[in-house]
Amino acid sequence: LVERHPVTMHMTTFAPQESPRSLQLYTVDPATTYEAARMIVTEDLADHIDMNFGCPVPTVTRRGGGAALPYKRRLFGQIVAAAVRATEGSSVPVTVKVRICIDDDHRTHLDAGRIAEQEGAAAVALHARTREQGYSGQAQWQWITAVKDAVRIPVIGNGDIRTPQDACAMVATTGCDAVMIGRTAASNP
């Protein structure tokens, strides 16, 4: 985005009727994060920025990004703070999406939620799987409840939402404030 790569710039375009406009950023560097978020605000590219720390793809996590980044708590906080600082004085909220963490032995979702809140994120979304699970297995909704109990900002639940009934069950079970529908939206018309 900061380099204004044509493909990336094309991905930032919206149809006139699309509102609100949301862009999701993947990043591993606070300075670049600040530049990208500032660009989104000053050029009115979106109404909302979501920081993606939930991607489980090995090419992303091997570089320390996506679901691997919250394990580096200080860097994670610096990146969230940079995005929030870049949007100060605007109406563009910054939200953060995370996973439980890399694997069952390295859970960071509670710290990530607290850090996101401390650094000024408007909300935190938890995909209730580890990076190791990818998109397989069953989402562990109890960890959404744990994040909800750990922070005061809104918590968005994600994982295994295939029907409207699933969404209602997640809210009832976890107490989350909203539900994020991911990959299953495309496979369930």
Residue 147 has pLDDT above 80, yes or no: yes
pLDDT digits (tens, 9 = 90+) for 8-49: 999 999 999 999 999 999 899 999 999 999 999 999 999 999
Query: For 154, how many CA atoms within 13 A lie in the half-sphere containing its CB?
Result: 12
Query: For the chain, what's the residue count?
Result: 189
pLDDT value of residue 7: 95
pTM: 0.92
Give the span between the Cα atoms of 160 and 169, in whole angstroms: 11
48-70 mean pLDDT = 91
* Average model confidence (pLDDT) across the chain: 93
Catalytic residues: 55
